[in-house]
Amino acid sequence: MSLNFADMVNIMLRQKPDLTAEIIRDMIDEKKRKVGAGYLTDQGALFLVAADLGISFDSIPKTQSGLKDIYIGAKDVTVVGRIMNIYPVYKFTRKETNEQSTTRTLVVFDRGSRVKVKLWDKQVNLPDEMGLQAGDLIKIVKGYVRAGLDGKPVINLGSYSSIELAQDDPSIPTIDSLTANVDGISETQDSAVISGYVNSNPRITDFVNQRGEPSKSLQLQISNESNTRTLRAVIWNIDESRVPKVFKTGTKVRLVGVRVKQGNPQFGSGDFEIHGDEGTALEFSGSQEDVDVMPLRIISVGEETGRGSFVCLAADRAGRALTMTVDNSLATASQLAPGTMVECVPSRIFGNSVTLSKEDSYIRVTDDDSSFPNLSKFETKIKDIAANSEPVVVEAIVLQAPDTADVSTKTGEVVPVTSTLLGDDTGEIRLVGWRAQSSSVNKLTVGDRIRLIGATAGPGREGKPELTMRPYSSILHLG
């Protein structure tokens, strides 16, 4: 028969006559304060207090009633929880034996708590063998509890432990019931489930993770349905194979198992940010895996990326501007001059960004198609340039000698920035080039007549628009 909270207190009072119920109450409150709110019930804290005092509950059954009741040092723990995150297998070398080992982490939750579950060596393949995914209800049998790096209890699976699928329990929330939309985010939280709409070009970027290893992150903006609130979202250590090949602006997305953090007002709007990692489940509605043949017209050929590819600006039949990254093995920059018609099969389409990699893409030059827009679609006069993300084509004269300065970015990086002043018969506008584009602007001289292709306008000095060179931008010198 299970002992309840009152039974446990009575056992403690019998074993330690100098204790009182009030002292035990104070010790429970102190233990919960030290461990952190939201991780212990009173009964769970009582286990830790008893352990500190050397008191044993031999008659307490080994099966726990909930995740909040587990405590560091517990053995033969059996609990039921719903999966929030499934992390990939991690290989490492044990310092004490110099042997290779593997581990994997699950995050499970019930109606009152969440906890990490560590799988070791032979157990790391269980999620794949069982076909487990976020939202599945599982029973963890005969685990043992140790402290994690953050001091919180972590259930570990040993050689006698196992995972079983459990019958659905209506008392444990579902992933759907935990899902909040962008408008519903009002505080910081862990293990959140957020849905929204992709409202700008997603991108995958390189970075070095905490282990000093090269890794990638998926960065995107998530908005509400009316597009009146937008939050930045970053999924760190992303496995590109988990991301659909195609998802366009407006695609609905759900991020399962993320942290909601307060944004830094110095680097953005100060609104909340969404941060996930390699354990975050990504669910995209309306995405597709097969990429169709795309006919495009090249508008501008930009710079080399330094990673064996170069960047272009292209337009589809509807006149929508697309950024296209092309592997050097598929084509050369000289083959894709402005105005060239091409057919291509990309390896990935993120919003308005198209990637052609050597493994699974092709591109070929085709005959001209007059139904496709050409450069004139994007041509404008300086007086008509407004601050937006649309690329423009403008003919102008260089009015000032370029000026270069080193600027520190918000990440502490120091980069060169070059600016000059352009003019036509309708007005003047500042042109800026950052990093690699700085050298293109720096080569200009006063009096040069140029055609600037693919720059974008944003707010500049004194609230006036200014043009910024992009990796796909180009400058043609006119006679």
> 3-class secondary structure for the chain?
CCCCHHHHHHHHHHHCCCCCHHHHHHHHHHHHHHHCCCCCCHHHHHHHHHHHHCCCCCCCCCECCCHHHCCCCCCCEEEEEEEEEECCCEEEECCCCCCEEEEEEEEEECCCCEEEEEEEHHHHHHHHHHCCCCCCEEEEEEEEEEECCCCCEEEECCCCCEEEECCCCCCCCCHHHHEEEHHHCCCCEEEEEEEEEECCCCEEEEEECCCCCEEEEEEEEEECCCCCCEEEEEECCCCHHHCCCEECCCCEEEEEEEEEEECCCCCCCCCEEEEECCCCEEEEECCECCCCCEEEEEEEEEEECCCCEEEEEEECCCCCEEEEEEECCCCCCCCCCCCCEEEEECCEEECCEEEECCCCCEEEEECCCCCCCCHHHHECCHHHCCCEEEEEEEEEEECCCCEEEEEECCCCCEEEEEEEEEEECCEEEEEEEECHHHHHHHCCCCCCEEEEEEEEEEECHHHCEEEECCCCCEEEECC
Q: What is the pLDDT of residue 236?
A: 94
Q: What is the pLDDT of residue 306?
A: 79
Q: What is the pLDDT of residue 411?
A: 65
Q: What is the pLDDT of residue 63?
A: 47
Q: Which CATH superfamily is domain 62-173 in?
A: Nucleic acid-binding proteins (2.40.50.140)
Query: Domain spans of the chain?
Result: 1-57, 62-173, 175-285, 294-366, 379-477
Q: What is the pLDDT of residue 251?
A: 85
Q: What is the pLDDT of residue 307?
A: 82
Q: What is the pLDDT of residue 131?
A: 93
Q: What is the pLDDT of residue 1?
A: 37
Class level of CATH domain 294-366: mainly beta
- What tens digit of pLDDT does each residue of 36-85 get? 666 678 888 888 888 888 887 654 444 455 888 888 888 888 899 999 99
369: region left, alpha or beta (phi > 0 left; psi from -120 to 50 alpha): beta
* 294-366 and 379-477, same CATH topology: yes
Identify the segments of the chain with pLDDT beneath 70.
1-3, 36-39, 57-65, 266-269, 286-290, 410-411
Instruction: Give the CATH number of domain 175-285; options: 1.10.10.10, 2.40.50.140, 3.40.640.10, 3.30.70.260.
Output: 2.40.50.140
Q: Which CATH superfamily is domain 379-477 in?
A: Nucleic acid-binding proteins (2.40.50.140)
Q: What is the pLDDT of residue 278?
A: 92
